[in-house]
Amino acid sequence: MLNLATLLENSANKYTNKTAFTFMDTSLSFSQINSAANQVANGLVELGIQRGDKVAISCFNLPYFPIIYNGILKAGAIVVPLSVLLKADEIHYHLDNSDAKAYFCFTGTDDLPMGEMGHAGFQNTNSCEHFIMIMPKGDMPSPIDGIRTLGSLMQGKSPSFDTSDTKASDTAVIIYTSGTTGKPKGAELTHSNLFVNTVLSADLFNCNSEDTHLIVLPLFHIFAMTVMMNAGLYRGATSILLPRFDAETVLNLLDKHNVTAFAGVPTMYWGLNNYLDTNDYDITNIKSNLKSCLSGGASLPVPVLEKFEANFDLTILEGFGMSEGSPVVTFNQLDVGRKIGSVGTPVWGVQVKLVNEKGETVPAGEKGELLYKGHNVMKGYYKNPEATAKTIRNGWLHSGDIAVKDEDGFYFIVDRTKDMIIRGGLNVYPREVEEVMMKHPAVSMAAVIGVPDEEMGEEIKAFIVLNEGHSSSTKELIKFTKENIAAYKYPRIIEITKTLPTSATGKILKKELRKI
């Protein structure tokens, strides 16, 4: 028997009155989080939620998230975390596709009326029977008449609960892929998948009970959920929650709470670098406490990494993972070593290989699709056996990422197979072009895509964000890139822009750029 909620329960016994989560001026201990999760579990059982039922949640990085998440697990049900940016039709799709029986949704803000959109999506979903509005304060009524709130669900419920005896192989979480290639698919992750990945994640950055994490990556995303929230629960660390990335706010919280561990995606490190470039901010105290910085979600451009490390005098540990891998697959590990630009070596219990189009393993130094197998591989895509069979073959999960392995066994992600540009029959990997362009002193960030072209099949187009106070022409940038990369790889089209579209997790949305 194994239930992922054991992570919280064990720390509630071991670190009873220690702060587990802090949001603004509110701090809750491990015991308080556990008791509240028990009340949620009792409330769900009273609603008729049974072991194996799916329960969805849309919530910012607030203490409500770990409370509800663990309450669902305790009841033996399956957590279906949803992006806070989904619109009504998308919410309907996710609730319907996952067969969710209940849906917890934060009321939202004026800018992002999540509760309104969530309720609209819920109303169009026949299978979902219960809608529970999460209000900023437990005693606040729902803005929609007749709708149950989280406060009312928990009211009068016992703070004790006999956690369901789920099996290690039972599904604990269904996490939806971003849907960059068609409709999002629900990856079924087991209690075992997530438990083992949590344990090895905690080891990767030496997480312990003295640590303070800053979690700004959204908790509905597998990176923050496993590597930060669950690893913190497992080791008894304190987590500071921030719902939305803002460079100044991040720096203020790192400073105020003497944060020791931070995880981000490349756009966050880029944003912090830019803020420090244009503002006078004393980071002395932050540098004295911050010991671990992790990066994932996308490849971290080397210039961004080097500038951040120079500012903070520490090493960013970059890794590779995906929802289907619970998420961590490879990582720059403290006991193995780190290589700049690399996503490290396979983590404990995971095998990795690179193959060509024929499925043959490629030698060191050659590009191939990254495949992996081990305890982290999902059960499959929920209700989608065709996609599962296409992705997992002979036990190996096909990631869709192109990588190179060096002689020392370190992996370097080259690009996504779907992002690869075929120009005149030659393969061009956008990341290689982006890295070259970002060496130009005026370039702050680059995103490269392929656009249709009658003569070449695809032509290379770059979207460029310039550094504050710098200027450059498209002609100059084309000339610079042409001089530093093979002739068939440089962008013939460049568009200078002030911002790049990003997802809720901070990934640059190349599918949006392709619409421009």
Q: Are 377 and 388 in contact (CB under 8 A)?
A: no
Task: Report d(CA 355, CA 338) in Å as an integer.
Answer: 24
Alpha-carbon Rg of the chain, whole angstroms? 23
User: In this predicted model, what pLDDT tens digit does every residue of 230-269 receive, in sequence order?
Assistant: 999 999 999 999 999 999 999 999 999 999 999 998 889 9
Q: Are 344 and 330 in contact (CB under 8 A)?
A: yes
What pLDDT does 422 receive? 82
User: In this predicted model, what pLDDT tens digit does every residue of 290-313 receive, in sequence order?
Assistant: 999 999 987 888 889 999 999 999
* Domain assignment of residue 275, yes or no: no
* Domain assignment of residue 214, yes or no: no
Task: Report d(CA 516, CA 492) in Å as an integer.
Answer: 16
Q: How many domains does the chain have?
A: 2
Cross-strand bridge partners of residue 66: none
In the predicted model, is pLDDT for residue 55 greater than 60?
Answer: yes
Task: Report d(CA 71, CA 30) in Å as an integer.
Answer: 14
Cross-strand bridge partners of residue 106: 134
In the chain, the amino acid numbered 134 is I
State which of 166, 186, 218 marks the end of a domain.
Answer: 166
Task: Report d(CA 332, CA 329) in Å as an integer.
Answer: 11
State which of 107, 137, 166 marks the end of a domain.
Answer: 166
CATH number at residue 152: 3.40.50.980
* Domain assignment of residue 18, yes or no: no
Question: Where residue 182 falls among pLDDT bands split at 50, 70, 90?
Answer: low
Helix (H, G, I), strand (E, B) or coil at 277: helix
| Token pair belonging to 513 | 């750029």
Residue-wise DSSP of 439-492 = TSTTEEEEEEEEEEETTTEEEEEEEEEEPTT----HHHHHHHHHHHS-TTTS-S
* Domain assignment of residue 258, yes or no: no
Q: Are 144 and 133 in contact (CB under 8 A)?
A: yes
Task: Report d(CA 372, CA 396) in Å as an integer.
Answer: 5
* Domain assignment of residue 292, yes or no: no
What pLDDT does 416 receive? 78
Q: Give the mean model confidence (pLDDT) for residues 10-22.
A: 98
Helix (H, G, I), strand (E, B) or coil at 340: coil
Question: Where residue 179 falls among pLDDT bands split at 50, 70, 90?
Answer: low
What pLDDT does 287 receive? 98
What pLDDT does 283 receive? 98
What pLDDT does 425 receive? 76
In the predicted model, is pLDDT for residue 181 greater than 70?
Answer: no
Cross-strand bridge partners of residue 321: 328
Query: Which residues form the domain of 103?
Result: 26-166
What pLDDT does 454 receive? 85
Q: What percent of the chain has pLDDT over 70?
A: 99
Provide CB contacts within 8 A for 65, sequence distance 6+: 57, 59, 219, 220, 229
What pLDDT does 428 receive? 86
Q: Give the mean model confidence (pLDDT) for residues 186-194.
A: 98
Cross-strand bridge partners of residue 346: 330
Residue-wise DSSP of 27-95 = EEEHHHHHHHHHHHHHHHHHHT--TT-EEEEE--SSTHHHHHHHHHHHTT-EEEE--TT--HHHHHHHH
Alpha-carbon distances of 249 from 136, 227, 468, rounded to whole Å? 20, 22, 20
* Domain assignment of residue 468, yes or no: yes
User: In this predicted model, what pLDDT tens digit does every residue of 345-367 receive, in sequence order?
Assistant: 999 999 999 999 999 999 999 99
Task: Report d(CA 304, CA 282) in Å as an integer.
Answer: 20
Maximum alpha-carbon separation in the chain: 70
Record the pTM. 0.90
* Domain assignment of residue 53, yes or no: yes
CATH number at residue 482: 3.30.300.30
In the predicted model, is pLDDT for residue 82 greater than 80?
Answer: yes
* Domain assignment of residue 425, yes or no: yes
Provide CB contacts within 8 A for 195, sequence distance 6+: 2, 4, 6, 7, 168
What pLDDT does 298 receive? 78
State which of 166, 181, 214 marks the end of a domain.
Answer: 166
Q: Are 44 and 71 in contact (CB under 8 A)?
A: yes
